[in-house]
Chains A and B, each alone.
Chain A
Amino acid sequence: MYPTIPIALAIFAVSMIAITTEKVNKTSAAILGGMLMVIFGIESQSSAFSYIDWNVIFLLIGMMIITGITKRTGLFQYIAIRLAKLARGEPIVIIVMLSFATAAISALLDNVTTVLILVPITFLIAVELNVAPTPFVISLALASNVGGTATLIGDPPNIMIGSAAGLGFADFLTTTAPIVAVDLVVLCAFIYALFRKSLVVSNERKARVMAFDDSKAIEDRPLLVKSLVVLGAVTAAFVLHSRLGVEPATVALSGAAVLLIASGAHDVEAILSEIEWTTIMFFIGLFMLVGGLVETGLMTTVSSSLLGATAGHMSATTMLVLWASGLLSGLLDNIPFVATMIPLIQDMGASLGARAIEPLWWALSLGACLGGNGTLIGASANVVSVGISRKNGNPISFWDFTKYGAAYTLISLIISSVYMLLRF
């Protein structure tokens, strides 16, 4: 018989180092880690597979399909141009409005997808205005992470937390969304204070932005109508899913199937090939990897000693989870972090009762999602936004991003702490 705990810990540690440093492709590392847990007999194949949270996997796939079709319509470009014109070409107003739009779109769609669509059009607006694109890029990245925190489907950690804790879309809407609204207002004030003075634009440049013809931004009007109908119906179903007794993944996959059929002429094969299979496989690997650790009983030991350290004091534990996940998410990928924390908190729930530990789930959600703003590498949305900027001759260094990101993260974590203490 193998000494299970040391072997499982070693597999977990090596895999996590590989995932964090990306010496090996992180998806490959996660899958191999999960398989090693099976090969070394830490968990059986069937139990490894049973740790995969299919609600998370299919919710992600469903939303990726809906997003993939909707982005073909030109809707998001239309929104960006419309807002730039509403702002009458005034750059600081454009940044604030686009940050709100980014947060709102991120609340419904994946953060990375949101910045992939909105950063390039914002870049174009900045170039046309002849102002530095950096404030636009940083603001959008921060806003997408904030917006994603608001809903069950806004950010992968929330999807995982919601599924594991049995928290529904409506729960997020009443718990994280209000504080996100506050965070967003603070973010806009933060951006306004920092960037207002550096953004001066000539009248002629403003006139160029006003000359954009937003009506031509819509690529496919019939598809746009169908996408909006499905997106609206899916959002409504999400709000009601707990009351209807339907799982979120069912809502997303049904919406995806309906939109695939409604899009008709569009090639189903092409749309499905755009699903980010690397991300999906990363999640699958991660669930199996963490599953191995759970199987050893190690999680129970750690959770009870954690509870011992805080003497079962719920407020203290909540603050610990919020700040630990907030700070660690700036340095680590928040997805594997949350995947590891979930069984830990579940174990605490086993000893304290599911109702009692609800604040911990919210602390994990707020910490992991908002913490991603802490550094340039804290969230995929940051890396992608800065990458687009660099490819267009406007490099943003690690510290350029991090000095704004870290300051804002600190502010948002303090706001979250106050909120958590007042609310629970």
Chain B
Amino acid sequence: MKLANLLDPRLVLLDQDVSSIDEAIVAGVAAFSAGNLRSLGRDEVLARVRERQALGGTVFPTGIAIPHARLPGFDDIVIAAVRPLVPIVQPDGEGTPVRLVWVVLTAQTASSTYLKVLANLAAMSKDGAAMDALMAVETGYKFVEAVEAGGYVVEKGLHVSDIMTREVVSIREDASLRELTDRMFANKLRYLPVVDAAGLLVGEVGVLDLIAAGIPDYVYRVGSLKFLDEFEPMAELLKNEDKIAVGAIMKPPVRSIAPDSSVLAVAFEMTRSKKRHYPVVEDGRVVGVISSMDILSRVLRA
């Protein structure tokens, strides 16, 4: 979804005679049509935007302000652009004067689209050529066209590359189990992608695969070891950890994930296969690892 497609030329107010951010907010909110506001009262919307504005943090050092509000019972993103005739100087006289005020209304549960809109507006303000074009245009239509020319895209949904761990600790397939054990222990990792000499992904190994290497096959077939109190745990593994290569106990990668896969697709894959870690692969190389904890900490409780 393009940023330009979220803008409406009728909500672009050029060369407004406003001398403060608050006046720009009033002008912007006044521009929204009844259709834009749905069932919400204009005064209520204004109050909400002011309430949020009082918390601060909406004025950017690049010379723009993004006053906004999350509205209950509202399920949309609407944006008004207010270009002051004269850049607004902040009351404290500090910072760059504000050349453009974006008034943004969104749903109470801020969607990822909304977060991307904010990120795009901020990015655009850092783009000198784009800002010059926005300052120079004479009509709302031209304003929207200028935004479109910048090619700003609001993507729906998070991608794996947004939340994955990029500092990948991997292990060579010809490494010994001793190296694997040390690396898992030192880095407190329970999952490592396995790579070959050329650095290409050839498998994956989890701490359970390592532990399983210490339990003989006949034990699995017996099915239970409750009757054995004195079975020496992991004795075989500790004795042989220099002799066994990671390649002998690794699993082939079930399914590698591309960096531009959607987080939803990965979440689906994880729950379906009950597998908590996936290597993120680009051109055969591991560029990241995504785990269920990444989804917990960077999506569910971001």
Residues of chain A having any CB pair with chain B under 8 Å: 74, 77, 81, 116, 119-121, 123-124, 127, 208, 211-217, 219, 388, 391-392
Contact = CB atoms under 8 A, between A and B. Distances in A.
Given A119-B221, A219-B223, 20 more contacts: A77-B222, A77-B223, A77-B224, A77-B227, A119-B218, A120-B218, A120-B219, A120-B222, A121-B218, A121-B222, A123-B218, A124-B218, A212-B227, A213-B226, A213-B227, A217-B227, A219-B224, A388-B221, A391-B217, A392-B217
Interface in B226-258: 226-230
- Interface SS, B side: loop
A116 B222 CA distance: 9
A392 B220 CA distance: 11
A392 to B, nearest CB: 5
B236 to A, nearest CB: 10
B221 A120 contact: yes
Contacts, number: 47
Residue from B221, B222, B223 having most chain A Cβ neighbours under 10 A: B222
B220 to A, nearest CB: 8
A215 B229 CA distance: 12
B218 A388 contact: yes
Q: Which 3 A-B pairs have the closest CB atoms?
A: A120-B221, A216-B226, A123-B218
A230 to B, nearest CB: 21
Residue from B221, B227, B229 having most chain A Cβ neighbours under 10 A: B227
B227 A214 contact: yes
A3 B145 CA distance: 84
- Interface SS, A side: helix
B230 A211 contact: yes
- What size tier do the contact residues of chain B reach? 10 to 19
Contact of B218 (A81, A212, A392): A392
A334 B64 CA distance: 87
18 contacts: A74-B223, A81-B227, A119-B218, A120-B219, A121-B218, A121-B222, A124-B218, A208-B230, A211-B230, A212-B228, A213-B226, A213-B227, A214-B227, A215-B227, A219-B223, A219-B224, A392-B216, A392-B217
Contact of A217 (B216, B221, B226): B226
Contacts of A124: 218-219, 222
Contacts of B216: 127, 392
Contacts of A392: 216-218
Contacts of A74: 223-224
B250 to A, nearest CB: 18
A403 B216 CA distance: 28
Interface in B55-88: none
A211 B224 contact: no
A121 B217 CA distance: 11
Contacts of B222: 77, 120-121, 124
A264 to B, nearest CB: 21
